[in-house]
Structure 1
Amino acid sequence: MNHLVVYAHPNAESFNHAILETVVRSLQANGHRVVVRDLYALRFQPVLGQDDLAALDAGDVPADILAEQELIAQADAITLIYPIWWGGQPAMLKGYIDRVFSHGFAYVANAQGIERLLEGKKGLIINTHGTPKDIYDQTGMTEGLKLTTDTAIFSFVGIETVGHLLFGGIGYGEEETYNGMLKEVEEAVVSLFPAR
């Protein structure tokens, strides 16, 4: 399978980066082809501006958007790895979705409804957050995050969400705890995307 991993964290020493390395290593060990898009390292322009809107409406897709869309089109599976900041995605990733998952590429909306243009692809989301997981579960945040990504993004464009891992209490755990989380990531990836 062709896997596209979209990663959004500015710190190469972060736990998110350890998750990225685990995902890539696990996929490659199972014989999958992996392309990583590190949005901060790429200095991806996240702001959807009027120039973008005009160009997209005219069918003249800006080069940086087109490059990402071509990678998505080639992918059988898409994995998003990012931290939860202020109850949502980092602006970098939100901007990636705004600009790249555009009308006419990821979906078409018309009087008949929504046509999902990315059907047949699988999606995995891996998030971290500083708040303990129990609190997110009890307050409804966990379910809210799944609705705003699994449903409002992936399902909206036809991507089947096959997994969504959320790890809480990041920044307050022991090394053993983090190692256990990375093991969970590895097991999930191997299970969801077995050897070819």
Structure 2
Amino acid sequence: MHALIVTAHPDPNSYTQKIVSQVAQGIATHGSHTYEIADLAAEQFDPRFNQADFEQFKSAAPSPADVLAEQQRLDRADALILVYPIYWWSFPAQLKGWIDRVFTQGWAYLDDGERVEKKLGRLQVHLLAIGAASQRTYVRRGYFSSMRKQIDEGIFGYCGAPVITSELLLPSDDHYPDAHYTLAHQLGHTLFHAKD
């Protein structure tokens, strides 16, 4: 089984990257499974939804080459793991733009105006969101339920990709940061456990 780990943080030494590393190490401990890391910042993925993207959406024109390359990465994967810092209560712009451009009409879903065909049912999704505020702040603001509605349901549910893990990692969590490293490593280690 193969996993695609996608992240978007400009600092290669960030806490986000350390969590990515723990997930990858967890997958590697299981010998028979593989992973690929899509570091959107390091790869300088262009998140801007451009005219070619719009033409693909409106008329099923071919997607740009960079979008096709990302779709091929996802086609090879059995699981998608997003590890991201929370910026302004959402994804970083680069990660949101990756979703905007890559999860295209015809590839991720097919909406003919009368019904939606969800095309990514084979792809399990795992979300690790890294926040800086306290649990109390996120609960008071309703962030976690908003995140589940917007991301889990609004994006992945629309495409039929089941969200298996949706975690909010905060500095106020007990045994921070070690508990987060353990969780990330365990996620990687057990990622395909039910399928073995």
Q: Answer yes or no: same fold by TM over 0.5.
A: yes
Aligned to 1:36: 37
Task: Give 5+ residue unaligned stretches, structure 2.
Answer: none
Distance in 2 between the 1:113 and 1:105 partners?
A: 15
Identity of aligned residues (%): 30
Distance in 1 between the 2:92 and 2:71 partners?
A: 20
Distance in 2 between the 1:22 and 1:33 partners?
A: 14
Aligned pairs for 1:60-99 (under 5 A) are 60-99=62-101
2:169 corresponds to which letter in structure 1?
Answer: F
Cα deviation 1:129-162 (Å, max 9, x = unaligned)? 1111232123311111111111111111011111
Distance in 2 between the 1:60 and 1:111 partners?
A: 20
Of 127, 137, 140 in structure 2, the residue corresponding to residue 138 of structure 1 is 140
Kept after mapping to 1: 8 A contact 2:8/2:41: yes
User: Which runs of structure 1 show a deviation greater than 2 angstroms over 4 or more consecutive aligned residues?
Assistant: 55-59, 187-196
Secondary structure of 2:63's match?
coil
C-alpha displacement at 1:55, in angstroms?
A: 4.5
1:134 corresponds to which letter in structure 2?
Answer: R
Aligned to 1:47: 48
Aligned to 2:14: 14
1:190 corresponds to which letter in structure 2?
Answer: H
Aligned to 2:189: 190
Distance in 2 between the 1:68 and 1:11 partners?
A: 22
Distance in 2 between the 1:55 and 1:146 partners?
A: 28
Aligned pairs for 1:163-182 (under 5 A) are 163-169=165-171, 177-182=176-181
2:127 corresponds to which letter in structure 1?
Answer: I
Kept after mapping to 1: 8 A contact 2:23/2:186: no
Q: Normalised by the size of structure 1, how large is the TM-score?
A: 0.91
Q: Normalised by the size of structure 2, how large is the TM-score?
A: 0.91
2:182 corresponds to which letter in structure 1?
Answer: K
Aligned to 2:108: 106
The alignment yields a C-alpha RMSD, in angstroms, of: 1.9
Provide the aligned length of Structure 1 versus Structure 2. Answer: 193
Kept after mapping to 2: 8 A contact 1:3/1:77: yes
C-alpha displacement at 1:185, in angstroms?
A: 1.8
Aligned to 1:159: 161
Distance in 1 between the 2:188 and 2:139 partners?
A: 23
C-alpha displacement at 1:184, in angstroms?
A: 1.8
Aligned to 1:23: 23
Cα deviation 1:12-45 (Å, max 9, x = unaligned)? 1111000000001101111311011100011001
Task: Give 5+ residue unaligned stretches, structure 1.
Answer: none
Distance in 2 between the 1:55 and 1:149 partners?
A: 23
1:159 corresponds to which letter in structure 2?
Answer: A
Distance in 1 between the 2:62 and 2:103 partners?
A: 15
